[in-house]
Structure 1
Amino acid sequence: MNTLFPIFVKAEKLRILIVGGGYVGLEKLTAVLANSPQAHVTLVAPEIRSEIPELAQQHPNVTLVQKLYHPDFLEGFDLVIVGTNDKAVNRQVQVDCKARHILVNVADTPDLCDFYLSSVVKKGDLKIAISTNGKSPTFAKRFREVLEEILPDSLQETLDNLTAIRNQLKGDFVQKMEKLNEITKVLR
């Protein structure tokens, strides 16, 4: 049973640390920036793939630190994503994060994760996160592709119209919710 509690965080209001500068570090940095282009991200690694500085140049809130991981790097961070090819380093970062009450994700190691990164479908302002409870990121990716294909691009227009309607509604919260529920029944 999947007991994960899904949330959407305002990543641009957090300080995010990514430990690892290889393919996985690039993948995680790309995912964060694709969803939150203004996110404040620091990436730490002794070696950094050439694509990472290229990506960082496009995002002024990304800082690259080409050094070995040290626990002092965790100071001031809210969220940590780990993706090195050294299991001992990955484990040490997780232990250091737990000691500081920082949420951590260790790529491909569900037992060490406080949270999982989801596969995300985006259609304008609509965002759907897909989780397999850490069991199969590949399935989540394929399911995302299916949803992206079948959801119409016109969803943004629908969302904009519903916002305009909501802003014009009179009455208390319950009355507004009842009216919006009635209007959106066609989505069933």
Structure 2
Amino acid sequence: MENQLFPVFFKLNRLRVLVVGGGNIGLEKANAILQNCAESNISIVSLDFLPELEDIARHYPNVELIRKPFSCGDLLGKDLVIAATNDKTLNYTVWEKAKGAKVLINVADTPELCDFYLGSIVQKGNLKIAISTNGKSPTVAKRLKQVLQEAIPDTLDEVLQKLHIIRDKLKGDFAAKVKQLNNITDVLVKPEKEDA
């Protein structure tokens, strides 16, 4: 079956995220979130925390470490949950409680228990591209990320800024503005003519 995921970009500075797990997996997920939005509101629940997570909490005021076992109450007010432990039974319990609380959940390395995936991200300024293999091969997603990171010029963000200014100055209804922007950006996709 082909990939039927619907790509979405969350405004993490407006949401409350719970990460269950203070080890390497929790660290990886917290870093991924913060790399995309440094203002993310993250609560991390665990009995123990890696020193790197403690360092993150010192540097990011919106990251809270809660040293205790996971409980249902940890889900109150949360919008997204990531079960990030190496304990499959605990991860399953977190999944059950999140589903009961109607909170979207990602269970690390368990695609069948995920409402969403954390894809590979390519970012050039305001351009952000998420890559998903539908959980089939994170390695392929990682390689595609490397290819796109190298292929997309860093100057593309400057182009985006200028197009934003142009868009704000265009006159007419939505359809007219789309037509004008399509004409302006056509140069980005037309192949260059070779000299005869």
**Per the shorter chain, which TM-score range?**
over 0.9
Structure 2, unpaired ranges of 5+: 190-196
Runs (4+) of structure 1 exceeding 2 A deviation are: none
Aligned to 1:111: 112
Q: Secondary structure at the match of 1:81?
A: strand
How far off is 1:143 after superposition?
1.1
Aligned to 2:37: 36
How far off is 1:174 after superposition?
0.7
Q: Secondary structure at the match of 1:116?
A: coil
Partners in 2 of 1:142 and 1:66 — Cα distance?
Answer: 36
Partner amino acid, structure 2, of 1:46: L
How far off is 1:70 after superposition?
1.0
Once the two structures are superposed, what CA deviation does each residue of 1:104-160 show, in whole Å capped at 9, x if it has no partner? 000000000000001100100000000000111121112111111111110111001
Aligned to 2:166: 165
TM-score (structure 1 length as normaliser): 0.98
Aligned to 2:21: 20
Structure 1, unpaired ranges of 5+: none
Partners in 2 of 1:161 and 1:92 — Cα distance?
Answer: 49
Once the two structures are superposed, what CA deviation does each residue of 1:73-109 show, in whole Å capped at 9, x if it has no partner? 1111000011101100000000000011100000000
Specify the structure having the higher radius of gyration (Cα): 2
Partners in 1 of 2:70 and 2:94 — Cα distance?
Answer: 8
RMSD in angstroms over aligned alpha carbons? 0.7
TM-score (structure 2 length as normaliser): 0.94
1:36-75 map, 5 Å: 36-75=37-76
Partners in 1 of 2:90 and 2:76 — Cα distance?
Answer: 17
Partners in 1 of 2:13 and 2:116 — Cα distance?
Answer: 18
Partners in 1 of 2:67 and 2:182 — Cα distance?
Answer: 52
